[in-house]
Structure 1
Amino acid sequence: MSFHGPRSGLFLVVYINKDGKTEDVECRKVNAEHPHNESDNHHEEHETGPEHARWHLAVLETLKDVDVVIAMHMGPTLVQALRSLGKTVVLGVRINNIDDLGTILRDKGLLS
């Protein structure tokens, strides 16, 4: 789960057992600085610029061993990259209580 927005570089990695209970929680920091760009063509540069490509690679490295990525929002390039690596990406989900994660995953059909 991205923590305080994906640009923060913080991801909360939650280990859920088959019963939907939280077993462990780890906060990971992306080993790169998110390139901030306030120009008018930010979206285009976000999708194609080399600094953003480095950021995306660092995010992929940080999340290489997770199965499911949950975020309120994520750009299409990063979503496609995660999915190409076999990750399930769930967008538009805000989690207020970590203990609800098992129920959310079950409701999305991601936990038996």
Structure 2
Amino acid sequence: MEIKNIETADCRVLSTSISTNEIRIKFESIYDISIKQFIKDVDLVIYDWCSFEAKLYITNAPGESFVGINLTTDKLEFFSLIQNIEINEDDLLLQGFSRESGNWLEYRFKSGGVYFQTAC
């Protein structure tokens, strides 16, 4: 599975686990554009990154500007949906909605590895 051929928008995130320099995000299913099929029970694994940032975007009222808040590891929020995965050179950006607050959430990784793994 090549990341460029995978779509996760509107695919539910079941869980997120974090260990030393590895984050594993478990999806109920993802869509593989190249074979035009949903694949069930898939993990997105990100590992060995140099830096990691998590940012939450909130607003006090509809129509107001969003304010970005950097999240610390002890206050980290997790995804319920990942709407976008963007890879540019050594930069990986995940964007979607927070399970805890429902707000827009971004994870940014520098110089890490990434792959999808199926349960089979």
Is TM more than 0.5 here? no
More helix by share: 1
State the TM-score, normalized to the length of structure 1. Answer: 0.26
More strand by share: 2
